[in-house]
Amino acid sequence: MDDGRRTGMKPARIVTLLVAAVAVVLVAIVLFGGSSNPTYVMTFETAGQLVKDNDVQVGGRRVGKVADIELTANNQANVTIEVQEPYAPLHEGTTAIMRATSLSGVANRYIALTPGPQNAPVISEGETIPVDQTTTIVDIDQLFNTLDPETTKGLAEVIQGFGTWYRGRGVDARNGLPYLSPSLNATIGLLEKLNSDQPALEQMVQSTSSVVGTLAAKGPTLTNLVTNANISLGAIADENESLAEALQYLPQTLRRGSTTFVNLRTTLNSVDQLVAASKPATKNLAPFLADLEPLLTQADPTLTDLALTVSKPGADNDFTSLMQDAPALNSAATKSFPASITAINDSVPTLSYARPYAPELVGLLRDFGQSTSNYDANGHYARATPAFGAFNYNGTSLDYLGVNRDAWEQNGPTIVPRCPGAATQAPPDGSAPWQAPLYPSTTALIGCNPAIVPPGAW
């Protein structure tokens, strides 16, 4: 009896042991057993320092985790993820980007999903999302590796310069820390807004990448720009005293400018009236300018020649040189022109009287050689008749003509001047002899006898 009691077990204790065993099994299933969440395989170019249990997020919220990471035959990474409901199942068009929560850490990566549209076909569990729909994170080391040695050296110098700048400013930094918290809160809000709209953020990053790429392609130009800006700023710094003086005059200048602008209102009102009055006169201005354009085009050679006439390279060959010599010419002309004007005025009556006899003078020059054209056995001969310019022979003595002396008079028994054109026989049309006006500005005729003509007829 006693032995049976020693080896027996109470029913309550047996139930307790069974419950404990079941609890252990349930915990083991939860901790080590499989998950009921759908799994998908995403192919990335690199694992990007992902580790198991990294977050899978949608819009900044954890919706799953990284379950496994494997290396593919072509050295890419197959990342198996689990996605919880209601974000599972995924639909075609889903994309994934590997991101970092911050720069201060190593295993702080996560995968950001952009689910496809709900009306798209469902992606089967375990199906692989190809690499063209995933984007691997770019580590800062990869960025630095793209820089050439000269740029890397410059960046190092910039960082060292920041270190020199902040050295010994601990007190100022401590005084500024109380203001850092509001700034960080505002930054967190900004980042949350940016993270909530990942497509817009991605587009901004892509646009920024394009801008940076364009700037990188224009590296020499940017270098020259920075160099020229440095020279310009240096020149401005050298003129700091002049700038300070200019800034002292700036308030006074602005006050005067304000007064000028106030007074300009009245002027603008007058200008408005002028414009209103000019509108009727300017309505035909456009056709006029259209017609003027061909004239200006054709006038270009003329204006070019005129410009050369006014000013041409060289000495004493243009109008400018002539005007430079004009004072000396004016000085000489002041003395000579009055006498020339007097001589011309005095010669007008004589020239006016002689002008109608121009045909006789031309005939003399033309036919003078014919006076000796006759010839006989002794050769050529000429008939000559004595004539006296200042005297007239009356048969017994020579009488001085006195005031009747005239180079154009007929010598003989009567003293009568010939008319113009009387050197030859009168033509049938009566055009000669011609009783010409004594002066061009008068109606008085030359006192000549039109009947005095050589004998014979046409």
Tokens matching residue 242: 């002049």
At residue 410, the pLDDT reads 46
The number of residues in the chain equals 458
What is the full per-residue pLDDT of the chain (458 aa) written as tens digits?
444 444 455 565 665 666 566 565 555 554 444 557 889 999 999 888 888 999 999 988 899 999 999 999 999 999 999 999 888 889 999 999 998 887 666 668 899 999 999 899 999 888 899 999 999 887 777 777 778 888 888 888 888 888 887 787 778 877 877 877 788 788 888 877 777 777 777 788 888 888 888 877 777 888 888 888 888 888 887 777 788 888 888 888 888 888 888 888 888 888 888 888 888 877 777 888 888 888 888 888 888 888 888 888 888 888 888 888 888 888 888 888 888 888 888 888 777 777 777 777 787 777 777 777 787 888 877 776 555 455 565 666 655 555 444 444 444 445 567 778 777 777 778 777 877 776 666 666 777 777 777 766 55
Separation of CA 340 from chain center? 61
Say if CB 438 and CB 406 are below 8 A apart. no
Q: How far apart are CA 384 and CA 294, in angstroms?
A: 71
Domain segments of the chain as ranges: 31-135, 175-238
> In sequence order, what are the residues at sequence separation of 6 or more whose Cβ sits closer than 8 angstroms to the Cβ of residue 353?
408, 438, 446
Tokens matching residue 42: 């995403």
At residue 411, the pLDDT reads 45
CA distance to 136, 246, 448, 451, per residue, from 454 (Å): 128, 101, 15, 9
Q: How far apart are CA 278 and CA 295, in angstroms?
A: 25
At residue 71, the pLDDT reads 92
> In sequence order, what are the residues at sequence separation of 6 or more whose Cβ sits closer than 8 angstroms to the Cβ of residue 384?
none
Say if CB 405 and CB 389 are below 8 A apart. yes
At residue 25, the pLDDT reads 55
At residue 97, the pLDDT reads 93
Cβ atoms < 10 Å from Cβ of 439: 13
Strands of 292-397, DSSP E: 375-376, 379-380, 391-393
Q: Which residue has the tokens 């046409």?
A: 458
pTM over 0.95: no
Burial of 359 by CB count in 10 Å (0-12 exposed, 13-18 middle, 19+ buried)? middle
Rg for the chain, CA atoms, rounded: 60
Q: How far apart are CA 415 and CA 405, in angstroms?
A: 9
Q: How far apart are CA 373 and CA 391, in angstroms?
A: 30
pLDDT tens column, 213-247? 887 777 788 888 888 888 888 888 777 778 888 88
